[in-house]
């Protein structure tokens, strides 16, 4: 990046796709762009699904219920989290968790990374705080107990911390953009 004219001290706004266009041919650049867009979209889709499931889990924990619209079963509600991590057993079109996540993220999506830097900083600070709290709680409990990787039998009853940690990590892939 520093070898590009005008960006010797990284003062310019040069992206990796610009570098690829300069150093590869047109056909390789198009292929690379398509692969990059596919990779970014797969991360976006998985992050949306995980965020939706995390908020639905938090709704079950706090309100004892969450509801969704299913492709196969129509409108349905759940009162517990299944072992697969989702409150619902069928394919979901949208849920209360999705509506909440969308109401937070959609207003931020119209802003540039520079304009929503405060939200990113708060998300990063929250992530580091919750990670520290989780590590402290984990280390302060007896470490000789077996801990299931998946399921409802948790080492501690502080599921809110695990839910918030899971939600904050969805914003962790934004951290490199402003560092």
Average pLDDT for the chain: 76
Token pair of 175 as six digits: 């951290």
Structural domain containing residue 63:
50-178
| Measured distance CA(172)–CA(52) in Å, rounded | 16
In a domain, 114, yes or no: yes
In a domain, 144, yes or no: yes
Q: Looking at residues 99-128, what average pLDDT do you find?
A: 84
Q: Domain tally for the chain?
A: 1
In a domain, 112, yes or no: yes
Q: What is the pTM of this model?
A: 0.61
Sheet holding 92-95, edge to edge: 74-78, 66-70, 92-95
Q: Please say whether the beta carbons of 11 and 131 come within 8 A.
A: no
In a domain, 10, yes or no: no
Residue-wise pLDDT tens digits, 41-60: 888 888 888 888 888 888 99
Residue-wise pLDDT tens digits, 135-150: 887 777 656 566 555 5
In a domain, 102, yes or no: yes
Token pair of 58 as six digits: 């938090």
Helices (H), 10-95: 16-23, 26-63
Residue-wise pLDDT tens digits, 61-100: 889 999 999 988 899 998 988 877 778 888 888 899 889 9
Strand locations in the chain (E)? 66-70, 74-78, 92-95
In a domain, 22, yes or no: no
In a domain, 152, yes or no: yes
In a domain, 100, yes or no: yes
| Measured distance CA(122)–CA(25) in Å, rounded | 41
Q: 3-class DSSP state for residue 169?
A: helix
The length of the chain, given as a count of residues: 179
């Amino acid at each position: 990046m520093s070898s590009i004219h005008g960006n010797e001290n990284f003062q310019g706004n040069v992206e990796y796709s610009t570098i690829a266009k300069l150093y590869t041919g047109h056909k390789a650049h198009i292929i690379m762009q398509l692969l990059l867009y596919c990779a970014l979209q797969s991360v976006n889709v998985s992050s949306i699904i995980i965020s939706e499931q995390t908020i639905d889990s938090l709704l079950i924990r706090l309100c004892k219920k969450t509801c969704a619209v299913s492709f196969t079963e129509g409108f349905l509600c759940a009162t517990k989290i299944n072992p697969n991590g989702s409150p619902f057993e069928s394919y979901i079109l949208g849920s209360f968790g999705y509506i909440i996540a969308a109401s937070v993220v959609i207003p931020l999506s119209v802003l540039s990374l520079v304009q929503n830097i405060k939200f990113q900083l708060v998300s990063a600070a929250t992530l580091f705080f919750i990670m520290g709290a989780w590590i402290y709680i984990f280390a302060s409990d007896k470490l000789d107990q077996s801990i299931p990787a998946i399921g409802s039998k948790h080492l501690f009853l502080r599921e809110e911390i695990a839910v918030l940690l899971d939600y904050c990590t969805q914003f962790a892939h934004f951290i490199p953009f402003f560092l």
